[in-house]
């Protein structure tokens, strides 16, 4: 870094850390882009960016929902299982046509989110426990419904997964739309203010008369709904419903994207653009290592390094 970024005076260290918290994730994305442009063959092509954008879509959508939940001070471990549930629904209800099947999948996702939300908001179960139960139960239920991979030949679903509009894949349109919706909700609506307030101090929010329980329920339902959207899109892209392997461990990728993006795990703050950049950063990291044909164990190590760096930067703020 240049002297502009790191002023010599010791007291400015905090300023650097603060700056890194705010913009570190973008620096990471930019660094990876520069590296790839310099060293990866065929990186600067429309096709490549299309591939990366399509591949990041499920994690990106999940991490948006996850960021909402984390902003309230909670967490949702069940998103991968909800994806599997949505995939199973698509296969079960495709006989009624693609639109009906997608609607059923979304309703199932929202219902699963409602169970999480009710347990967290009304029964006072800790989020990590409630959603862990849904993570195990949801996967189990979807495997009962659809015990094995089922190929999808429906033209509508396949078009959703592989087709494009104005040269941009439908998957990317959907994620762009959801980013816009979440950004609007968080920045411009009362609901957005409330969920951040609850994460900041639940007790104070209750005492000041905010509808804490209702808000929490809605947040978990939204997260479930987003997970179902991710499940539908992943299924469409794969051209098969695969409840056994879809979304395995993806909740961890989503949480990573949120944390790397600068949303603190203890809640009270939500960064939409940072979350998007966090998801993109992890995607670029994995893709760089794959393209350079490095062993998969390197991918895990590199991801770990990014997570620790992100959490380290966040820790500095806690001390301040």
Partner 1 sequence: MATVPFDRAGRSPRRTATVFTALACTALTLLATSCARGEDEAGGGQTAGGGQARAQELDDAAGSDQTCNIEQFGMEKFDLKDMTVGFSQSEAESNPFRITETASIKSEAEKRGVELITANAQSDFAQQISDVQGLMSQGAELLIVAPLNSDGWEPVLAEAERKQIPIVTIDREINGNPCEDYVTFIGSDFVEQGRRAADRMIEALGGEGEVAILLGTAGNNVTTERTEGFKERIEEKAPGIEVVFEQTGEFTREGGQSVTEQLIQSNPEIDGVYAENDEMGIGAVTALRGAGKQPGDVKIVTVDGTEAAVQGIIDGWIYAVIESNPRFGPLAFDAHESFGKGEDVPVELIISDREYTRDNAEEELSNAY
256 or 288: CB nearest partner 1: 288
Nearest approach, Cβ of residue 10 and partner 1 (Å):
44
Of positions 200, 291, 309, 317, contacts partner 1 by CB under 8 A: 291
Of positions 21, 59, 70, 242, contacts partner 1 by CB under 8 A: 242
183 or 240: CB nearest partner 1: 240
Q: For residue 165, give the DSSP letter.
A: E
Nearest approach, Cβ of residue 105 and partner 1 (Å):
9
Selection from 262, 312, 280, 288 nearest residue 39 by Cα: 288
The answer to the question of residue 121 lying near partner 1 (CB under 8 A) is yes
Of positions 246, 258, 284, 310, contacts partner 1 by CB under 8 A: 246
The answer to the question of residue 254 lying near partner 1 (CB under 8 A) is no
The answer to the question of residue 151 lying near partner 1 (CB under 8 A) is yes
Stretch that binds partner 1, among 23-31, 149-157, 177-185, 193-201 (CB under 8 A): 149-157
The answer to the question of residue 302 lying near partner 1 (CB under 8 A) is no
The answer to the question of residue 64 lying near partner 1 (CB under 8 A) is no
User: How many chain residues interact with partner 1 (CB under 8 A)?
Assistant: 62
Which parts of 72-211 fold into alpha helices (H)?
A: 79-93, 98-121, 127-145, 155-162, 170-188, 190-200, 202-207
Token code pair at residue 134: 């849904």
Distance of CA 37 to the CA centre of its chain: 26
Nearest approach, Cβ of residue 47 and partner 1 (Å):
6
Of positions 60, 77, 83, 92, contacts partner 1 by CB under 8 A: 92
The answer to the question of residue 145 lying near partner 1 (CB under 8 A) is yes
24 or 98: CB nearest partner 1: 98
Token code pair at residue 94: 């495709």
Selection from 64, 57, 74 nearest residue 162 by Cα: 57
Strand partners, 151: 240
Distance of CA 41 to the CA centre of its chain: 29
Alpha-carbon gap, residue 289 to 12, rounded angstroms: 35
Site track for partner 1 across 33-52, x = CB under 8 A: -------xxxx-x-xx--x-
Alpha-carbon gap, residue 22 to 10, rounded angstroms: 20
Counts of helices then strands in the chain (DSSP H, E): 13, 4
């Amino acid at each position: 870094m240049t002297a502009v970024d790191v002023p010599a005076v010791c007291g400015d260290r905090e300023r650097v850390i603060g700056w890194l918290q705010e913009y570190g994730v973008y620096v990471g994305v930019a660094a990876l882009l520069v590296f790839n442009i310099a060293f990866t063959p065929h990186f600067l092509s429309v096709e490549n960016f299309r591939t990366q954008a399509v591949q990041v879509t499920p994690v990106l959508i999940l991490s948006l929902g996850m960021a909402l939940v984390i902003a309230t001070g909670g967490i949702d471990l069940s998103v991968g299982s909800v994806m599997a549930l949505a995939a199973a629904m698509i296969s079960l209800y495709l006989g009624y046509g693609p639109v009906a099947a997608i609607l059923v999948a979304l309703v199932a996702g929202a219902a699963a989110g409602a169970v999480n939300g009710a347990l967290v908001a009304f029964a006072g179960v800790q989020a990590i426990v409630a959603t862990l139960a849904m993570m195990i139960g949801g996967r189990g239920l979807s495997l009962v419904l659809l015990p094995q991979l089922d190929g999808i030949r429906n033209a509508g679903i396949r078009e959703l997964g592989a087709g494009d509009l104005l040269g941009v894949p439908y998957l990317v349109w959907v994620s762009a739309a959801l980013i816009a919706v979440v950004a609007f909700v968080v920045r411009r609506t009362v609901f957005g203010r409330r969920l951040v307030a609850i994460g900041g101090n639940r007790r104070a929010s209750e005492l000041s008369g905010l509808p804490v329980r209702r808000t929490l329920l809605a947040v978990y339902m939204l997260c479930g709904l987003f997970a179902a959207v991710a499940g539908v899109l992943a299924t469409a892209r794969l051209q098969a419903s695969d409840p056994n392997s879809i979304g395995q461990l993806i909740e961890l990728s989503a949480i990573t994207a949120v944390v790397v993006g600068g949303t603190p795990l203890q809640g009270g703050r939500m960064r939409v653009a940072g979350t998007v950049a966090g998801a993109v950063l992890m995607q670029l990291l994995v893709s760089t290592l794959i393209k350079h044909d490095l062993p998969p164990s390197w991918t895990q190590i590199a991801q770990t390094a990014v997570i620790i760096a992100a959490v380290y930067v966040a820790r500095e703020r806690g001390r301040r």
